[in-house]
Amino acid sequence: MFKYAFFFLTLVSFLFSCMKGQKVDLIIHNANIHVMDDAGSVHEAMAIRDGKVIEVGPERQILNKYRSDEDIDALGKDVYPGLTDAHGHLLMYANQILGVDLTGAKSMDEVIYRCEKYFAKSSNKFIIGGGWDQSLWGNDSMPNNKKLSEVFKNIPVCLYRVDGHAALVNEYLFKKAKIQATNVDGGEVKMVNGMPTGMLLDNAMNFISKLLPAYPSSQVKKAISEIQEELFQYGITGTHEAGIDFKHIQLFKSMISRGQLKLELYAMLMNSPENRAFAMKNGPYRFRNLSIRSFKVFADGSLGSRGALLKKPYTDDHHSHGLLLTSVNEMRNVAQFCLKHGYQMNTHGIGDSANALILDIYKNAFKRNPDHRFRIEHSQVIDPADFVKFSEYAVFPSVQPTHATSDQRWAENRLGKNRLQGAYAYRTLLRQYGMLAIGTDFPVESTNPFFTIHAAVQRKNPSNQPLNGFLAQESLSLDEVIRGMTIWAAFSSFQENELGSLEKGKRANFVIFDKPLESNPSFEQNYAWRTFIRGKMVFALDEL
Ligand SMILES: [Zn+2]
């Protein structure tokens, strides 16, 4: 009898589920789904099939209309489109993981100590490191290689500054590079009393880049997989990789083919002959979750190493205006090339002079194509007279709010009070273009997007400094920051029809946050509770 009753119940539930209609792969319900559409809709449930959003709506509507083998009760938590880091460096971060990490080192002695410890354990006969920042060492002057060369006499050592715009190399490597000139276009070989210090700024680093040994690709891939896990725990499902060489296209494709790289990757090509040939041959290119249709160009260096190109000299170095890394002519050439081949141009611009030059080049792009979406990466220091050009020429600002709160310790020394008013001006930039692409520039900064939210909304670092916020009038709302990491980031990469919101037909890339997503005056760490890419779970907090 019991057996028949069971059969009957199964039949009823089967018929009932048929009546419920359409079969989908996954239903998320009891959720607080922030669709990030124009209307700012928030719904309770979502149906997903074939990796795409089929419908978002009220709980009853979705549960009545659809059935699925798998449904997830989101426990009333906040659901957002998967976050995109609109400016990061997977490859640079992978190299940092494989090399010696000098982040937070408090002195040159500590830098050397960390190198010794690393070398004792390493199987490689070279040391490449990164992350040092002389502004943490008290006197803020650039280091020299004296001690480093004494400790490491017979192996090449190259230690990059935290922003990647300067390197300290030991005498062994310096001699091997046979560096003759000290004046380099867009760079500098630092000398003191006629003697080289081992410091190479910006383009001067080209002397040693070809001499440096590379890590085996198996090690690089493993490191990228680790970074991907780190991003998933924060709900990041996509990154814009800000500058790759030709060989890296193959590296990413091979990881994607093996199912090792699931992130939506928007890679910018460096301006090399091989990469130009690739763009000419392929036009805008897509390989599954890899999209390539942009070039990355450096107009200037960084503010930290005084390489940012300024209209007037540095307040803390009256002899320096900074460095122009790519000639205006060459930047014009790249812009022409990009327009011709359907590519986007993303130019690194930190100083007010660099930004003015870029805006002028983009003005011509605007005449040829009003929807060029050319970006200025960082858009960091803007002459107040130039802000309006972002709207006039439809120039997309790409910003990293944690740069503001990291640089606040010394930005005024470099720029002076007046010039600082046009720096890290995210709100003013947003008012011009109506959108921002928001990222972290990892590994220059942490991958943690909650640091970004805190920096953008509260204008504070994770230790809640400064107390009243840095240039607090330039703060963004929480909604604006999230848009910068979702729908606007999608728009800035020509993917707004596939990514960036949870509207019908878009890819089911989303995050269910562990705690409510909010911004408070005091920093609070949050994590993803679940992260999904194309409807498949890639991270679960409780499985850690
Ligand atoms: Zn960068």
**How far does residue 376's CA lie from ligand 1's centre (Å)?**
11
Task: Tell how far the Cα of 147 is from the centroid of ligand 1, in angstroms.
Answer: 30
Note the pLDDT of residue 149: 97
Q: What is the DSSP string of 128-169?
A: EEEEE-GGGSSS-PPP-SHHHHHH-SSS-EEEEETTSSEEEE
pLDDT exceeds 60 at position 2: no
According to DSSP, residue 123 is labeled S
Quote the ligand 1 centre to 164 CA distance (angstroms). Answer: 8
In whole angstroms, how far apart are CA 232 and each of 499, 508, 527, 530?
Answer: 16, 15, 9, 9
Expressed in angstroms and rounded, the spacing between residue 294 Cα and the centre of ligand 1 is 15
CA of 54 to the centre of ligand 1 (A): 36
Q: Which domains does the chain have, with CATH numbers?
A: 2-76 (2.30.40.10), 84-88+215-537 (3.20.20.140), 125-209 (3.10.310.70)
Confidence of residue 54 (pLDDT cuts 50, 70, 90): very high
Q: Which two tokens stand for residue 268?
A: 């910018």
Question: Does 101 or 7 have the greater pLDDT score?
Answer: 101
How far away, in angstroms, is 190 Cα from ligand 1 center? 23
193: left (phi over 0), alpha (psi -120 to 50) or beta: left
Query: How many angstroms is it from 199 CA to the middle of ligand 1?
Result: 20
**What is the whole-number distance in angstroms between the Cα of residue 163 and the centre of ligand 1?**
8
**pLDDT, mean of residues 119-145:** 90
For residue 238, how far is its CA from the centre of ligand 1 (angstroms)? 16
Q: How far is CA 132 from CA 101, 115, 167, 305, 312, in A?
A: 8, 12, 10, 12, 28
Give the span between the Cα atoms of 54 and 49, in whole angstroms.
6
243 Cα to the center of ligand 1, angstroms: 8
Centroid of ligand 1 to alpha carbon of 57 (angstroms) = 38
pLDDT 10s digits, 391-443 = 999 999 999 999 999 999 999 999 999 999 999 999 999 999 999 999 999 99
Is the CB of residue 80 less than 8 Å from the CB of residue 72? no
The Cα–Cα gap between 176 and 302 comes to 27
Q: What is the pLDDT of residues 76-117, one digit of tens each?
A: 999 999 999 999 999 999 998 999 999 999 999 999 999 999
CA of 240 relative to ligand 1 center, distance in Å: 10
**The pLDDT of residue 328:** 98
* Ligand 1 geometric centre to CA of 311 (Å): 22
pLDDT for 124 equals 86
Distance 242 CA to ligand 1 centre (A): 6
**What's the angle, vertex CA 349, arms to CA 345 and CA 355, rounded to 5?**
95
Tell me the residue type at 290: L
The mean pLDDT value for 226-235 works out to 98
Q: pLDDT tens for residues 446-502?
A: 999 999 999 999 999 999 999 999 999 999 999 999 999 999 999 999 999 999 999
507-526: per-residue pLDDT in tens?
999 999 999 999 999 999 99
Spell out which residues have Cβ within 5 A of ligand 1, the ion. Answer: 242, 441
Q: Is the pLDDT of residue 3 over 70?
A: no
Sheet with 528-533, strands from edge to edge, namely 42-43, 32-34, 78-81, 510-513, 528-533, 536-540
Beta sheet of 22-29, edge-to-edge order: 52-57, 45-49, 22-29, 66-73
Ligand 1 geometric centre to CA of 244 (Å): 11
**How much is the average pLDDT of 198-220?**
91
Q: Using 50, 70 and 90 to split pLDDT, how confident is the model at 337?
A: very high
Mean pLDDT of the chain: 94
CA of 445 from ligand 1 middle (Å) equals 10
Q: Per-residue pLDDT for 9 more than 90?
A: no
Going from the Cα of 309 to the center of ligand 1, the distance in angstroms, rounded, reads: 16
pLDDT of residue 7 exceeding 70, the answer is no
For residue 1, pLDDT beyond 50: no
Q: For 231-280, how does the pLDDT look when each residue is reduced to its tens digit (9 = 90+)?
A: 999 999 999 999 999 999 999 999 999 999 999 999 999 999 999 999 99
Q: CA 4 to CA 279: how far, in whole Å?
A: 67
Q: How far is the CA of 286 from the centre of ligand 1 (A)?
A: 22
- CA 403 to ligand 1 centroid distance, Å: 11
What's the pLDDT at 181?
77
Closest CA to 514 of 40, 74, 43: 74
**pLDDT tens per residue across span 488-501:** 999 999 999 999 99
- Average pLDDT for residues 189-196, to the nearest whole number? 92
Decide if pLDDT at 532 tops 60.
Answer: yes
Please tell me the distance between residue 89's alpha carbon and the centre of ligand 1 in angstroms. Answer: 7
Q: What distance in angstroms lies between residue 58's CA and the mean position of ligand 1's atoms?
A: 41
Give 97 Cα–ligand 1 centroid separation in angstroms: 17
CA 482 to ligand 1 center in whole angstroms: 20
Q: What is the 3-state secondary structure (H, E, C) of 32-89?
A: EEECCCCCCCEECEEEEECCEEEEEECHHHHHHHEEEEEEEECCCCEEEECEEEEEEC
Place of tokens 């971060």: 93
Q: Choose among 533, 540, 521: nearest CA to 468.
A: 521
